[in-house]
A and B are shown apart, each in its own frame.
Chain A
């Protein structure tokens, strides 16, 4: 599904990712762990299509180069990024934003757009599953939401859009234990043989609830070690400093 070969990324002449390699197959869950400044967010930015980076190497999604696709085209193809810092858009109702987003993607895929009633039915169901306060859906997008609510809103969007590849960028940071469980449930309910996940995190904690197939340790722009879930535990014990 996703193949990254020799990816290099610079921003303002500073090298962030160096020779980064990763392959994710359909249905797999990969976790990337690393300390601050190791290049985790750069990776999610580049995969989602954020501008401002000088990149080289190859990133293929379903055998097509992502570098040939605009951000929204990547979204249409089924790439979703749960943002580390979800953006506020004043004056835009959350429901309207979700509906606009879903229908933009459906339209691009040649699927029928949902009308208001069909959409509300869908969103209600998904919100209940995530214990997301429905009243919030009528508020301005992320405006006045707590950190946890913003993150839950990302997962709600993910479950509505049902993407092929979901990238969770430090979704666990700032979540209390209850919210963490809800987020994990949301992810687990989307785990299917065709849906893959890339979970970017500092801590092992989230991985107690979402069992990854692979764990990778990212340091200074490179994956220095890959393994199974046990690697996360080892990392938690030793700390990043002593790990190398």
Chain B
């Protein structure tokens, strides 16, 4: 009985594929494809030029290879760079016009888009392969001047803002995957919060990869103007497939004077099967710029999916008194691999950063925390606190902590704490003696281990994340 229940839970419940007719650009990476994408999105010339510049630059770049998880060579000419459901070749003006198959897909994913079933207090932008198919609560947000739309729409309707900020945090020359994304990015979200506005609801984007042999190149840009506040959450899932698919995103955040951005991720891309076949390569560049004084950016991530997760959501603390936070739970099971952490670059005076990382590895998986704390000469009186905890389950998995610390002035202070522990047999025995089965016991202990990070999530998602933490580790004991 129990085994059956566990087997059911272990199935990746988002693993279905939607049978939908899509328009694809031919496979391959070349100027024609980039033109195709740009035309499909009716972009102005400056955007196409920008993409081309990135493409030219890409020719001189090599993929980085310093990371711990290695992967077979990716044939960039064998990927579809653009795939969109045929029915949304024009983005529907309202949901009545949206393909019922898409509505059904999001309903199945637990993200109802229909007016009457919408998640209370959460506005959703739904990105399906290469296009945004719907954005909810746009009007309500518009009333307070908040812009929440797809990046494609923003390029057409708010070119001034996009032009000013795109690439201002992650330059198009940054590194191979960031440059690749700059050349071929397809969709993602755009958020602008006007001065002094506290965004009245949670904003969220739900990324879905559906088409096979297709890469998803997400681009998200969030700008919080002076004295504003926004909390944003992204979720990700994909069908179960034997092939590896690439998700290479660029996410840029800009916080001006006294503004605050809270960015949360619940990443549950298909992790591959228990033998390590298939799954998403989640190679993502996320960076926030605390541009103004007293600004604040906080990243929270719960990374449970993907065959390989490779990302370092970072903060550049440029404004004086600005602060950056990074809260992370990364779980790897079976043959999953993760190399994740953050970079905190202190440039302004009195800047503060805090890093809380919880890594859990089970099965044959391998987990690396890699982080940089860099306090520049001018960042006087700055502080960092880092805490990296690793939890191992079984004896076939690995956990590594690689902190890089650079402190260039003597008036700043860096503290680093790290622990590695195992769930002890005695703890399990204790919980079982109190009536919990081994899976429940592990779920409880692991959730306790992750608590400081789970607490950072918006309440609506914390419960889901807690369940996800338990489910990701199903089958890892006994």
Contacts and interface: CB of A to CB of B under 8 A. Distances in A.
B435 A83 contact: no
A112 B431 CA distance: 21
Interface string A209-227: 0000000000000000000
B432 A70 contact: yes
A71 B447 contact: no
Interface stretch (A3-11, A86-94, A230-238): A86-94
A227 B449 CA distance: 48
Interface of A: 48-52, 70-72, 74-76, 80-81, 83, 86-87, 89-92, 97, 100-102, 104-105, 108, 140-141, 157, 161
Given A87-B426, A87-B427, A89-B427, A72 B448 contact: no
A83 B431 CA distance: 11
Given A83-B430, A90-B449, A105-B435, 9 more contacts: A70-B437, A72-B432, A74-B433, A91-B451, A92-B445, A104-B434, A104-B440, A105-B434, A157-B434
A151 B246 CA distance: 53
* Chain B contact surface mostly: helix
B223 to A, nearest CB: 36
A93 B158 CA distance: 48
Interface in B404-432: 424-427, 429-432
Contact of B429 (A50, A89, A97): A50
Nearest to A102: B435
A75 B447 contact: no
Given A48-B429, A50-B429, A91 B435 contact: no
9 pairs of A and B residues whose beta carbons are closest in the complex: A91-B448, A92-B448, A101-B434, A71-B432, A91-B451, A105-B435, A104-B435, A87-B430, A75-B435
Given A51-B425, A87-B427, A100-B440, A81 B433 contact: yes
Contacts of B432: 49, 70-72, 75
A70 B452 CA distance: 32
A86 B429 CA distance: 11
Contacts of A101: 431, 434-436
A108 B452 CA distance: 31
A237 to B, nearest CB: 35
A186 B190 CA distance: 61
A168 to B, nearest CB: 13
Interface of B: 424-427, 429-438, 440, 444-445, 447-452
10 contacts: A51-B429, A72-B432, A75-B434, A87-B426, A91-B450, A92-B444, A92-B447, A97-B444, A100-B434, A102-B435
Nearest to A48: B433
A86 B431 CA distance: 11
B445 A104 contact: no
B436 A72 contact: yes
Contacts of B447: 91-92
Contact of A72 (B426, B435, B444, B449): B435
Contacts of B444: 89, 92, 97, 100
Nearest to A79: B433
A75 B433 contact: yes
Contacts of B429: 48-51, 71
Contacts of A72: 432-433, 435-438
Contacts of A105: 434-435
Nearest to A107: B435
Contacts of A48: 429, 433
Contact of A90 (B434, B437, B448): B448
A78 to B, nearest CB: 10
A80 B434 CA distance: 7
A157 B425 CA distance: 21
A67 to B, nearest CB: 15
A91 B424 CA distance: 15
Contacts of B426: 87
A101 B435 CA distance: 6
B356 to A, nearest CB: 12
Nearest to B429: A50
Given A89-B445, A91-B447, A91-B449, A104 B436 contact: yes
A48 B433 CA distance: 7
Contacts of B431: 89, 101
A100 B436 contact: yes
A155 B427 CA distance: 18
Given A50-B429, A87-B426, A100-B440, A140 B434 contact: no
